Amino acid sequence: MNKLLDETLSIKIAEHINSRASTPFDNAYKAALSTERARYIQGFLAFAGKPYRPIEHSWIELGEGSDVTIIDPTLPHLNKNPQELWYFAAQRLTVKKLKAIIEESKEDYPEDDPLPIYGDPPYEYYGDVMLGGQDYLAAYQAAEAKCREINELNPERN
């Protein structure tokens, strides 16, 4: 079941944080810091058309249980119909945990960008990239299956 994407709030927050097209992880980080009770989410985004495979992405979520809303601060830059986007979460972090990881990463690896966050090894392989653990692999495979499904169902859009 795809959670509800709040298009209006996504655009409002994108404007508030001055989101940029090529930085979904930074956009979600800034959005999480500026939004009460937000959780920072990393995972994959599936949609019809190129690149015909999931893209690694980040967003925030608000709410609890079955009443969770997705806020995507990169949405204005995606140039996709919001009803045709599917989000597959691999990792959820509270703002407190997110800040602690970023702080530690900057201290331990000052030359590296602290985002995205992949957790502890061992990592699993998917595609041509080594990232994340078992949760990442499961999210990637679910997003990959959705990409196949929607691209086979809508060949005229490809």
pLDDT at position 21 is 95
pLDDT at position 24 is 97
pLDDT at position 43 is 94
Q: Are 79 and 51 in contact (CB under 8 A)?
A: no
pLDDT at position 1 is 43
Query: 123 - beta bridge partners?
Result: none
pLDDT at position 120 is 65
Mapped onto helix, strand or coil, the DSSP state of residue 38 is coil
pLDDT at position 154 is 62
pLDDT at position 116 is 86
Q: Taking the chain (158 residues) in consecutive chunks of 10 residues, what is each chunk's mean pLDDT?
A: 84 97 96 96 94 94 91 96 94 94 88 81 56 83 94 63
Cβ neighbours around 135 below 10 Å, total: 16
